[in-house]
Amino acid sequence: MRYRILGKTGLKVSEVGMGTWGLAGKPWGWEAPDEAESMRALHRFVELGGNFIDTAWVYGRVDEPNVHSAEELIGKFINESGNRDKVIIATKIPGKNRKWPAWKGVSISEVFPDDYIEEMVDSSLKSLNIETIDLMQFHVWQDDFVKEDGWKKTIQKITKAGKVRFWGISINDYQPSNCLKTLNTGLISSIQLVFNIFHQLPIARLFPYAKANNIGLIARVPLDEGGLTGKLTLETQFNDPLHSVYFSQERLKEVVPRVDALKRLLDGEARTLPELALRFILSFDEISAVIPGTRKVANVEANTSVSDGRKLSDKILEELKKRTWERNFYVDLDPAMKDSGYIES
Ligand SMILES: NC(=O)c1ccc[n+]([C@@H]2O[C@H](COP(=O)([O-])OP(=O)(O)OC[C@H]3O[C@@H](n4cnc5c(N)ncnc54)[C@H](OP(=O)(O)O)[C@@H]3O)[C@@H](O)[C@H]2O)c1
């Protein structure tokens, strides 16, 4: 496993991290999580040198006794294995209004009121059963929040109390520059963003700023929620609401041919689509870590094996540039959003 520095945090993170949206709790993607396999996957990840685990307060959280959320399962793993010192834990505070993304014009008092930020840090610490969160991220953001001072004072207070080491923002999908004014405050060390073969807009919109200002970039959804695994067919059905819509029958008709065309690029540089997708991301030095969603030992092994320092050639990168497919899931979901200022082109 190779390591990169996570921007201003100075933390040395494994360049292949572990995304945990589907790790525990409710059905997600193709199937319900299997806690025992998720636990084995966490162990294997650390055994293979992985140290960067990305989670969120909301992942897998259901109000049912004996069903762990992702944070709780990670906490169980850390405490049972005694691996606290071996892992860097990043989690997220959901917006109080539980709306994704944060629309332009929404007030921060609806999304991240000061006392709520403190409450949620305490709640995540309890679920993770740890004393300090390495990286706490806001799970949605609007750059206009920069005008308010409450959150700034609150996060400084929490950091001083030793509950959080560093702060980041997990920015809205497809809006790579909706954070730049906030980054100028110097209070935020990392940005988590959607970045993959289809969505390459961040290269122009965020990478130059991040490089110049030492902001760590965490690439989420590297496999397009499963699209870039090459496993989807026109008949694939999902059993959770998000993927059922993201990969509706109409959407699959667009995804599958594009992915089939990408498969024809596989050669000595990448033998499988997930490998191509992860190598594409790791070919950019601006990226500190890529966090494929992993809850199975086999996927942990395949994904971590990509960390061998081999970047894609300029020829393939040029070819992949042509395969960009900028979409906007939220606008597709609700055409009224077209006028909401959501599209960043
Ligand atoms: N707003 C936000 O902050 C936000 C939003 C989305 C994601 N995230 C973070 O980013 C992480 C990654 O995104 P994601 O999980 O949504 O999507 P993703 O990583 O693009 O795709 C995950 C899917 O790929 C499959 N997969 C992973 N490795 C594979 C391999 N080697 N071969 C074949 N299939 C493979 C997984 O399979 P199985 O289902 O079979 O395990 C899962 O279905 C999340 O887990 C989460 O930590 C954050």
DSSP 17-47: -EE-TTSSSS-BTTB---HHHHHHHHHHHHH
Ligand 1 pocket member 71 (CB < 6 A): no
Ligand 1 pocket member 197 (CB < 6 A): no
Tens digits of residue pLDDT in 12-42: 999 999 999 999 997 777 788 999 999 999 9
Tens digits of residue pLDDT in 307-325: 999 999 999 999 999 999 9
Are 249 and 270 in contact by the 8 Å Cβ rule? The answer is no
Tens digits of residue pLDDT in 103-112: 888 999 999 9
Q: What is the pLDDT of residue 344?
A: 67
Are 93 and 138 in contact by the 8 Å Cβ rule? The answer is yes
Tracing tokens 């070819």 back to the chain, one arrives at 319
- Domain boundaries in the chain? 3-224+285-311
Q: How far apart are CA 143 and CA 128, in angstroms?
A: 29
Q: What is the pLDDT of residue 317?
A: 98
Nearest to 88 by CA among 153, 126, 136, 120: 136
* Fold (CATH) for 3-224+285-311: TIM Barrel (3.20.20)
Q: Could you check whether the bond before residue 101 is cis, i.e. omega within 30 degrees of 0?
A: yes
Q: How far apart are CA 154 and CA 159, in angstroms?
A: 9
Q: From ligand 1's centre to the CA of 42, what distance in Å? A: 14
Q: 101 or 343: whose pLDDT is higher?
A: 101
What's the whole-number average pLDDT of the chain? 94
Look at residue 242 and tell me whether its pLDDT is greater than 90: no
Least confident of 25-29, 33-37, 127-131, 189-193: 25-29
End-to-end alpha carbon distance in the chain = 35
Looking at ligand 1, which residue's alpha carbon is closest to its atom 48? 220
Ligand 1 pocket member 25 (CB < 6 A): no
* SS3 call for 146: helix
Ligand 1 pocket member 229 (CB < 6 A): yes
47: amino acid identity, one letter = E
Q: How far apart are CA 111 and CA 118, in angstroms?
A: 13
Phi and psi of 129, rounded to 5°? 55, 45
Q: Percent of the chain, pLDDT > 70?
A: 95
Q: What is the pLDDT of residue 207?
A: 98
Ligand 1 pocket member 68 (CB < 6 A): no
Measured CA angle at 274 (ends 179, 68), to 5 deg:
70
pTM of the model: 0.97
Atom of ligand 1 nearest to the CA of 296: 41
Tracing tokens 């059993």 back to the chain, one arrives at 239
Ligand 1 pocket member 54 (CB < 6 A): yes
Q: How confident is the model at residue 206 (pLDDT cuts 50, 70, 90)?
A: very high
